[in-house]
Structure 1
Amino acid sequence: MITRYEQALESDVQAIVDLLAADPLGSQREGLAPDLHQKYQSAFQRIDQDSNQELWTVKSEEGEVIGCFQLSFLQYLTYQGGLRAQIEGVRLKESVRGQGLGQEMFEWAIARSKEKGAHLLQLTTDKKRPEALKFYQKLGFVASHEGMKLHF
C-alpha cells in the first residue's frame, strides 16, 4: 500500500476525530455529536497556528485518511537547551493494521523529529493498552520513566 504523509488540513478534522474515537479508550473520550464539531475545529486552528505543533495525516494512495499522529516540539533548558519531540494521538484505521504501516509511520515520525533537531522522541501510552506498549518496545522505545497525570 502506498501512503503519504501530509500536515492535516481543516477538512481532515472529522476523519481524524473518527480515528481517535474508533477504539475502546478513545470512544470514552471523544464525541462525534455535531455540537462538538466546533470544539475540534477550534483545537485544530490552535494546533495549526502553533509552530511547535504538527498534526499529521497518513493517506492512502486514493487520498483517504487512514492514520494520524501529532508531534509536539518542546524546548527545554535541560540537555544543554535540547529540543524534545512528543508523539500523541497515534491511530491507524483498523482495516489497514497488520501491514507494517504502524512501524512505517513511526519511522517517518522519528525522521521528522530528527529533521527538526530533536534529541529524543517521547510518548505516553495508557496502561490499559498492553499491545501498544509491546509495539513501542519493539520499535526501540524504553520505559525509562514513570509518568503521572492530574486530570482537571
Structure 2
Amino acid sequence: MNDLEIRPASADDLPEIVAMLADDPLGARRESPHDLTPYTAAFELLTRDPQQRLAVAVRENRVVGTLQLTFVPGLSRRGATRAIIEGVRVHADERGSGLGTVLIEWAVEEARRQECLLVQLTSDVSRTDAHRFYERLGFEPSHIGFKLQL
C-alpha cells in the first residue's frame, strides 16, 4: 500500500466518490451519480464544518476508496468526543486488497489525534460481509440503530 495516499476529498473527486456510493445494491437504490447537484451542496457544507473529514484513498491519480469521519463532542462518557465513521466505500477493483483495512485504520488514528474516546459506525443489517470485516478490526456490535425517514 506504499503507492496509496489518503487525503481530504476535493470537489473534483465527487464523481468518483458518488460512483462508489452507488456501486452496491443499497446505494444503487438511493444514490444518483448522474446528478451531482445535491452532492456538491453537501460537499460544500462538509468542507466548512471543522468536525467533518471526507477522505479519499488515491492510487495512481485514481480515487479508489472513501469514508467520512465526523467528530461529535458530548456530555456522556464524562464529556467524551466520539468519532463516527460513515460512507466507507472501496472501488470494486480494489475490494479484497486490504484497502478497507487501511482506510479504517486511518480513521481510527485520526480519531486518536483528535482525542476521541470512542469510534463508532453503523452498517446496514444486510451487509453481513461488512459486519465480519468490522469485527475483525476490533469493532464490537453493541447497539440497535433506529432511523426515521424525513
Matched AA of 1:29: R
Q: 1:129 aligns with which of 92, 108, 127?
A: 127
1:105-124 paired onto structure 2 within 5 Å: 105-124=103-122
Matched AA of 1:66: V
Offset at residue 118 of structure 1 (A):
0.7
1:3-152 paired onto structure 2 within 5 Å: 3-33=4-34, 36-60=35-59, 62-152=60-150
Offset at residue 99 of structure 1 (A):
1.3
- Runs of 4 or more, structure 1, over 3 Å off, are none
Offset at residue 19 of structure 1 (A):
0.6
Q: Distance in 2 between matches of 1:147 and 1:38?
A: 29
Matched AA of 2:70: S
For structure 1, the residue ranges without an aligned partner over 5 or more in a row are: none
Instruction: Report the secondary structure of 2:68's partner residue.
Output: strand
Query: How far does the alpha carbon of each residue in 1:18-76 deviate from its partner, in whole angstroms, 9 at most, with x for none?
Result: 1100111111110122xx3211100000000000111000000x110000000000010
TM-score by length of 1: 0.95
Offset at residue 151 of structure 1 (A):
1.0
RMSD over equivalenced CA pairs, Å: 0.9
Q: Distance in 2 between matches of 1:21 and 1:147?
A: 22
Question: May I ask how many residue pairs the two structures share in their alignment?
Answer: 149
Matched AA of 1:12: D
Instruction: Report the secondary structure of 2:111's partner residue.
Output: helix
Instruction: Report the secondary structure of 2:83's partner residue.
Output: strand
